[in-house]
Structure 1
Amino acid sequence: MKSERIFDYVRDVDTALIINGGENQIDKTFFYITGAKSGIFEGSALFIRPDEVKIITSELEEQAARETGYDVIIFKTRDEFNEIIKKIFENHTNIGINYSAVSLEQYKNILKIIPDKEFIDISQSILEARKIKEDDEISKIREAAKIASDSLEDVIPKIREGMTEIELAAEVVYAMMKNGASGESFSTIVAFGKNSSMPHYFPGKTKLKKGDFVLIDYGAVYQRYCSDTTRTMVFGRASEEQKEIYEIVKRAQHESMIKIKENVNGRDIDKIARDIIDSTKYKGRFIHSLGHGVGLDVHDHAALSPSYDFVLKSNMVVTDEPGIYVPDVGGVRIEDDVLVKKDGYEQLTTSTKDLIEL
C-alpha cells in the first residue's frame, strides 16, 4: 500500500497528516495516497497510518471521496473540520507532516488545532516513495505518454505559414484533450525561429515563416499523471546549421538514453550527453540538466543532473532531454519519457525523432 511506503524512510512516526489549502496549495500526495480520479479537494485532509487512510473533506467532494473506497469524514464548516482533526489525532503524539507542501500559514493553523503534538518532517520519505512508481502509476504515465505522442501526429498537418505560436499551442492542447487527456501537464511551449533558444519560452504572437525552427514542449495529464515530451522541427527546408544542431542533439539523446538502467548514476547519464555537445562548436550551449522525474508532478523530482548524485532505480520514470540553444539563431531540444528497468529502459513517448521539414 502507498500508505505504508511513505513511512519507509522515517523513524518514530507511524501517523501522518496531509493537508490541502486552496487550489494552488494542493499536495499531490493526497492523490498519490487516495487515487481519487475526480475532485480538487481544497481544504481537505488525510489521516494516514500504514494500514489506514481516512479522507476528511467537505460535501463538495463527498462523492469523489467515497469512490476511492477509503473511509470518509464530512465536514460542513471550518470549525467542524478543526474538531475532526482534533479528535482523530488525539491519541497520537508524533505526527508526520509533508513540510515541503505546507505553507507557513497552514502550519500555524495546524499548531492552533493540535498544539500538543510533535510534528516530524516526512517530506523526504514521501519523495522517496513517489520516485518509484507502482504498476498502476506506470500504466497511467504510459497512457499520458501515448496521448502526447498521438497528438503530435494530429497537429503536424495543421502547422501552416503565418499561424502564431499561441494558435499552434491551442492546437496541441485541443489534440491532447480530444485524445483522452484531462488537461496539459504544464503550459504548452511553442517557440518559432530564434524564440526557440529560450528553454522556458512562453508562446506569443510571433508568426511562423519559412526557415523557422518549430519547438513544441508539451505533455498530457491522464488520471492525474503527467507526460512531458519535446520535438523540434523546421518549417520549410532546414539549413545546414539547423541540420547540424539537430543531429548533435539527437546523438546526445540516443547515446545517453541507451545507458539508462537501474543502479546507474543520473549524473553519469547527464555527462554522456553533455560531453557529446561540448565536443562540438556548441560547447556550453546545453544550459540545463538532462532530465527530471515524471509522475503526479511534471517535475516530480530531480534525476539526471551534473550537480546531483542520483542513483536510478527500477520503475522510476525520468525524462531525457538534451538541447542546444543559440541566441538569435534558435534552439533544438528532443525530450522523451523513459521508464527505468533493471537491465535497461523503455521509452514511453514514441514520436519520430527524424528531423521533420514541414
Structure 2
Amino acid sequence: MTDTARTLEILERLIAFDTVSCNSNLDLAAYAAAVLADCGFAVTRLPSPDGSKTGLYAEKGPAGPGVLLSAHTDVVPVEGQAWSRDPFRLTRGEGRVYGRGTTDMKGYVASVLALAGSAAQAELREPLKIVLSYDEEVGCVGIQQMLERLAPLLGSPRACFVGEPTDMQVAIGHKGKAALRAICHGQSGHSALAPDFTNALHLAADFLTELRALQEDLAAGGAQDAAYDIPYTTVHAGKMSGGTALNIVPDRAGVTFEYRHLAADRAEDILARIEAAAERVSARYPAPEARIEVEQYNAYPGLDVPPDSPVAAYARKLARSSTSTKVAFGTEAGFFARLGIPTVVCGPGSMAGQGHKPDEYLALDQLAACGAMMDRILQDLTG
C-alpha cells in the first residue's frame, strides 16, 4: 500500500523546486530520476533542444503493454499574486497542504513517485511506465519537443492516465487549442494627413470584428457538447498592439488570439475560416501594402474518448467513480491519444478551485484518493 507519509515527504521536496516554466527543471528532474532509479526503473532523459530542461521516461517490469502515468513538472508563476505563505515551501493546515503546484500538478507527481517505491517491492507481470514533461503550462511545448524520441519508448500501453486535477473524476474529453498571431500591415504617415494613409490598427479592428462574428456563428450553428461549461468552440482575442506615436499613422498592428475547438469542429476548417476573414478585411483597403498575415505558433490536440470505451470503464473502476466528465482546460492527453494510446485525465485537486491561484492547496483526502488509485493500478499490474 502507498505510504501517505512518504508521498508527503516527496511532495515537500517537489514543491521546494521553483519550476515556474521560465526556469529550469533540471534539479527536480535529477531528484525524480534518482528516486525512480533507486526503485529499479530504467530512466531515459529527454532534454529540451537548448538543454536547460528535461523530460523523463521511466519503465519497470517485463516487456508488454502496461499502464502509463503522465505528469508535467512545471508550474505557473506566483508574481502578482497575494500569497500568505511561502509558495515554494510545503505547509499544512485544515486538512490541506499548501504550495505552488500542490494541485497543478506536483501532488500527482508525488503519488507517482511514491507508487514507484511500492513497485520496487512488487513482481510486475506488466510494465509500469512513467512520463514527466516540462513546459506544459506554456502550451504543452515540452511534450511536443519530447515526442519524437518518446514515442518509440512508449510502446503500446493499454491505458494512459494524465494526472491533471479533476477531483479524482475520470475526464474523457477536453477541447483542442491553437494560438495565433495576425500581423496587420498598413502605411505610415503624418496624422494630420491620416485619411491619405491606411492605418494598420483599422485592419486590426476590422479583423477583431470578423473574429467576433465567427464566434457568434460557432455558438449559434457550430457543434455543441453539453458536457462542457461552454458547449461550443470558442474564439478569443487576448492582445492587440500597434502604433508608435499619436502623430504617426501606424503601418503595423498585431492581434494575438486563440480558438479552443470541440472534436466535431475540425481545426483545419476553423483556420480556413480565419484566413478567409483576414483576406476579406485586406480586400477592403486599396493600398498595396494593406494585408493581414495569420500565423499559428502553437497548438495542442483535444481529447474525445467515448464514455463506454474500455479505457473509460477501466479508469472509473480504478478511481471508484461511476461517471465521467469533461474539463475546460487543455492537457497533454491528446498527444498520447494521437499515438493510439487509450488515454483519460484523472488526478487529485480542483483546477477551478485551486489551480493557478494564490495559496494553492491540495486537500489531503484528495491525495489519499489518488494514492488508493495508484494502489489499485499496482494490484492490476501484479495480478
* TM-score band w.r.t. shorter chain: under 0.3
Structure (1 or 2) with the larger CA radius of gyration: 2
Q: Which has the higher contact order (CA 8 A, sep 6+)?
A: 2
- After TM superposition, the score normalised by the length of structure 2 is 0.25
